[in-house]
Every structure is written in C-alpha cells, then in structure tokens.
Amino acid sequence: MGNYECVELSKPTIRLIVIQSRIRAVDVNNLQSTRLDNLNHMLELIDVANNWGGPKDLLLFHEFPITGYSNKWNRQDILKLAIEIPGEETEAIGKKAQEYGNYIVFGSYAKDTAWPNHVLSITTIIGPDGSIIDKHWKSRNIKGVFGAGFELFTRKLGL
C-alpha cells in the first residue's frame, strides 16, 4: 500500500443534497418579476433542504434555476436576462448560505465585465460566509443556441 500525508478532516461526515427543481423560463418582457419568482423558489428550496433531515454542508443546484431556459430565446434575449455575478441574486443566495452555513452551487446565464456582450453559462460557488468563493464558465457553444454557422472551436483528434 502507498503511503501519503494525511490531514484531519474538518468533520467526520459531509452532508450534501442535490436539488433538481422545476425550470421556468423567465419572460423577457417581464424580466424582473419572473426572475424574482425563480429566485424566491430557489430560496424556498434552500430552506426546505436544510430543514429536511437536518442541516447540509453542500447544496448542489442545476443550471439555470434563476433564469430558466428556453429554446425560443435568441442571443439578445439571453444577454438581457443574464444575471450579474456578484449581483442581487448572489447576494440573496449568499444570505441563505450564511444563515445555514452551506456551500451553495448553481449555474446561470451571467454577465462578466471582462467579456462584454458575451453570453456565459457560469457555475458559481457561494461559501458559508455568504461570499462568492469561485465561479467557472463553460467555454463551449451549446449547438443550436446561436443559430447556424456559429462554432467556437472544433478539433478532430484522429482517435
């Protein structure tokens, strides 16, 4: 058997829950209200998750619990409905993370000042202190979202 350095775990058990909620597309013409409805649904699910079977260390949401998803949106729609990270949505989720001492992970269409006028699908991790501890964006095109003729990168490996 191999020998490697070990460190003490912060706790003997890590409790997590995966939350696959309904996905309701925001109405681009009623953006504030429908996005707030989705956010409030997400916040309620955080409460339910922490009150069912005891508190959790890690809550894992799917992509788009805040904005939802629609194959009828075009690029301009997605740019309009994308959230800001940090922003009011991450602030509200951060308060819940702080309330329960959770790490909360979720994905969303988001804006990034380093990439103006780009559509990004960003996964965000919020820590138990309520702060954003990491975010990562998918650097690939989901075929069909931007119409015909748009590819970010294609590479054949000859395998």
Please state, in angstroms and rounded to a whole number, the distance separating the CA atoms of residues 76 and 95.
31
Q: Is residue 54 part of a domain?
A: yes
Place 147 in a pLDDT band, splitting at 50, 70 and 90: low
Per-residue b or e along 1-12, where b marks 16 or more CB atoms closer than 10 Å to that residue's CB: eeeeeeeeeeee
Q: What is the pTM of this model?
A: 0.81
* 11 or 130, greater pLDDT: 130
Decide: 57 and 16 in contact? Cβ < 8 Å.
yes
Q: Is residue 156 part of a domain?
A: no
Q: Is residue 131 part of a domain?
A: yes
Decide: 61 and 104 in contact? Cβ < 8 Å.
yes
Place 140 in a pLDDT band, splitting at 50, 70 and 90: low
Q: Is residue 155 part of a domain?
A: no
pLDDT (0 to 100) of residue 129 = 95
pLDDT (0 to 100) of residue 82 = 95
Q: Is residue 80 part of a domain?
A: yes
Residue ranges making up the domain that contains 84: 16-137
Please give the share of the chain, as a percent, with pLDDT higher than 90. Answer: 60
Residue with tokens 């775990």: 9
pLDDT (0 to 100) of residue 148 = 58
Average pLDDT on 37-56 reads 94
* Res. 115: pLDDT tops 90: no
Q: Calculate the average pLDDT of the chain.
A: 85
Place 2 in a pLDDT band, splitting at 50, 70 and 90: low
* Contacts (Cβ under 8 Å, ≥6 apart) of 95: 130
Q: Is residue 1 part of a domain?
A: no
Instruction: State the CATH number of the domain containing residue 78.
Output: 3.60.110.10
Place 1 in a pLDDT band, splitting at 50, 70 and 90: low
* Res. 69: pLDDT tops 70: yes
Q: Is residue 78 part of a domain?
A: yes
Q: Is residue 2 part of a domain?
A: no
What total number of domains does the chain contain? 1
* 146 or 155, greater pLDDT: 146
